[in-house]
A and B are shown apart, each in its own frame.
Chain A
Amino acid sequence: MNASADSSLRFPHRHLLGIEGLSADAITMVLDLADSYVEQSRKPDKKLSLLRGRTVINLFFESSTRTRTSFELAGKRLGADVINMSVSTSAIKKGETLIDTAMTLNAMHTDVLVVRHSDSGAVKLLSEKVNCAVMNAGDGSHEHPTQALLDALTIRRRKGKLQGLTVAICGDVLHSRVARSNILLLQTMGARVRVIGPPTLLPGAIDRFGVEAFHDMREGLKDCDIVMMLRLQTERMQGRFVPSIREYFHFFGLDREKLSCAREDALVMHPGPMNRGVEIDSELADDIDRSAIREQVEMGVAVRMACIDLLTRDLLENAP
């Protein structure tokens, strides 16, 4: 029996601000429920009426197409009304916008607020000012919890488990909220985590995260079950953190030769959008035997459905 059949399950958090603080049980609850939503999303009639009348607002202070679309689909498939709000941080005076926007949305009786912001901690700050459930869709270099959950769901469906796997997270770990959330989630679920990248792209005191750090792809990928590539943003490849794209791809880009150091059945993942030829070989990215990249997108909708469902359950139950 999966979680969807048991609608009495309660998520023990009011918001989803990060993986930090989530127990293995809470993570498993999300993943189990998401499994059922994968099936639901494969049906011709994908729409449920579970959240009819509820309002989900996607509040994006940083541009994003895929994540916003994924949340939008998730909300709509659950039957909620979904509104997208894009707020350009440069256009309006910073900060004031955040609190002011929160106050405005509060007055609109929003049920779930999905927030992306370019500053670490901004989503948490906003969550302190509103009365609805807040989901972090990525805050600065801090966390991106639904990405880590969808990655976990992808891995669990392919490998049948998370515990005991060796996962390598490769590339720009320093700026990556995906990496931080994944490190926390994978460790909570009993996986071993490695990070691989040049020292300029690894966070300070990374050894204190309980991960193994490597600066050599071949060495770091040895015996790995999962190879997670991270996106390297253009402005970071041209001299500030690495000297050039070509040098980066040569040493840290994933190609078949480097991948051959990992386990034979190692799975390649990428949170998207990919820089083909920068962090990953284009043809490898499209190889459905090795790459789970397209599957990750599908799992994204299911995981976000599960999260919205669980957070609104809690609210419904506790509503005054």
Chain B
Amino acid sequence: MSKYRTAYVNARLVDPASGLDAPGGLLAEDGKIADFGAGLFAGGAPEGAETVDCAGHVLAPGLVDMRAQLRDPGQEHMEDIVSAGHAAGAGGVTSIVCLPNTEPVIDNVAVLEFVARRAREVKLVKIHCYAALTRGFAGRELTEFGLLGEAGAVAFTDGEVAVANAKTLQRALSYASTFGHLIVQHPEEPSLAEDGQMNSGEIASRLGLSGIPPVAEVMMIERDLRLVGATGGRYHAAHLSTAAGIDAIRQAKARGLDVSCDTAPHYFALNEIAVGDYRTFAKVRPPLRGEPDRQAVVEGLKDGTIDAIASDHAPHDQDSKRLPFAQAAFGIIGLETLLPLTLELYHNGHLALADALALLTCRPAARLGLAAGRLEKGAAADLALIDIDRPWKIDEEAFRSKSKNSPFDGRPVQGHALRTVVDGRAIYDAGQDGEDT
């Protein structure tokens, strides 16, 4: 029986995990990486394999997006596993870790398995799930960490809801350490963020909107770090947006705590000015901050304090966003803009290419214990072929996502996936998708 083989020839292999960055080739066989390396296929493509000429473009591990909301089950009119799969493909993403804030909430094994089964059936992007940390995000009763973990939950979080009760978080960190599970926090002190619509400061004051002060982030992180220290738990702070929050993680790492954090592109690519004249597409939680905080996020990425960049994909329909600012939903979609916005950091000289890609591949995968995000013989052939220089303009009309809530519409960027491969199979091909290249 012949094997299904694809030979990627004439590629620039970039594997951030191993430091490989060299011209070479890769052979995928039955969905796995059979071979790869500098100079592979230099003499030509092998017999009997489909050949993909990479034309010198970057062939890297597919992106691992450690934080996205898929709305499936429950709000499929905003996004579902199929539309998210196509959006992910167009963004070079091969693995998504989805938040548990579906309807119903992923706080039990049945819902978790439902999502996993849907993802297997759809066969686009790979979908992993966080499970809720407390039942129904109510902040009181812990979910079944052990059973959910066995069923595939990669970590535990109440998603967009901060675990405000210190006792609950203490117990969660403590109990999760039984299984070595990671606790993911939305770090925002709820009483300070109450009624808040955007970052506190001059712009909020001028617009007459209530603010969410930057200190709401670091206060929650500092409290949590005390509990991490006391319990020996594993902790991850999601979507950091402030200098103080990042610095708290930086210091905790220096003290040897098992902590990590991520951010999302809008926290380094935009600041609060994007809210402009009540632009609800720029309404997000935590809010877009002032310029010094934006710069601190870039610094946190440069010095390695921030472990990952996640899309923080949060689809919302028009009815949720075409509202007075205070009534509009929080959230920005990001699956299709994660790669080019992260590559801005490379093009602007803030990060080396491998370091930028590491934030999207091996680093989040390692933190979550996923077998993904690196080129390895025998590993799944989850790949992204990327033209890192290709200029294009973000266009909400072209989004494959069902929702269009992006503040980046019209932004000129560089870098686009040419082909996205999951288990050896292309889920996206820029040429076939009629993109102008």
Chain A interface residues toward B at CB < 8 A: 20, 94-96, 98-99, 117, 119-122, 124-125, 139-143, 177, 180, 203-206, 208-209
Contacts and interface: CB of A to CB of B under 8 A. Distances in A.
Nearest to A141: B208
A208 B201 CA distance: 9
* In the complex, the 7 A-B pairs of residues with the closest C-beta atoms, listed nearest first: A141-B208, A142-B208, A121-B278, A119-B324, A203-B205, A120-B208, A122-B324
A169 to B, nearest CB: 14
A95 B209 contact: no
B322 A99 contact: yes
A317 to B, nearest CB: 26
Contacts of B319: 95-96
A124 B326 CA distance: 13
A95 B326 contact: no
B334 to A, nearest CB: 24
Interface in B245-292: 277-278
B206 interface: yes
A119 B277 contact: no
Given A140-B208, A143-B208, A120 B278 contact: yes
11 contacts: A119-B324, A119-B327, A120-B278, A121-B209, A121-B324, A124-B277, A139-B208, A140-B208, A140-B324, A204-B205, A208-B205
Contacts of A143: 208
Given A95-B319, A205-B201, A208-B202, A125 B208 contact: no
Contacts of B206: 20, 180, 209
A204 B325 contact: no
A121 B282 CA distance: 14
A1 B278 CA distance: 40
A98 B208 contact: no
A188 to B, nearest CB: 14
Interface in B282-340: 319, 322-327
A45 to B, nearest CB: 40
Nearest to A179: B208
Nearest to A143: B208
A121 B277 CA distance: 8
B204 interface: yes
Contacts of A124: 277-278
Given A94-B323, A95-B319, A121 B202 contact: no
Q: Which of A20, A96, A122 has the largest count of B CB atoms less than 10 A from its CB?
A: A122
Contacts of B277: 121, 124
Contact of B208 (A95, A180, A208): A180
A155 B208 CA distance: 25
A120 B206 CA distance: 10
B202 A120 contact: no
Contacts of A142: 207-208
A121 to B, nearest CB: 3
Nearest to A173: B205
A173 B200 CA distance: 15
B61 interface: no
Nearest to B200: A204
A117 B213 CA distance: 25
A263 to B, nearest CB: 29
A20 B319 CA distance: 28
Q: Which of A121, A122, A124, A204 has the largest count of B CB atoms less than 10 A from its CB?
A: A121
A95 B323 CA distance: 5
A119 B209 CA distance: 9
Given A120-B207, A125-B278, 5 more contacts: A117-B324, A119-B327, A204-B205, A204-B211, A208-B205
A142 B201 CA distance: 14
B325 A120 contact: yes
A143 B325 CA distance: 15
Contacts of A120: 207-209, 278, 324-326
A126 B319 CA distance: 14
Nearest to B318: A99
Contact of A206 (B205, B207, B322, B324): B205
Interface string B129-162: 0000000000000000000000000000000000
B323 to A, nearest CB: 4
A140 B208 CA distance: 7
B325 A121 contact: yes
Nearest to B278: A121
B45 to A, nearest CB: 56
A209 B208 contact: no
B322 A209 contact: no
Contacts of A20: 206
Contacts of A98: 323-324
Nearest to B201: A205
B282 to A, nearest CB: 12
Q: Which of A119, A124, A142, A208 has the largest count of B CB atoms less than 10 A from its CB?
A: A119
B327 A95 contact: yes
Interface in B191-223: 200-202, 204-209, 211, 213
A223 B209 CA distance: 32
Contacts of B202: 204-205, 208-209
Nearest to B197: A120
Contacts of A119: 324-327
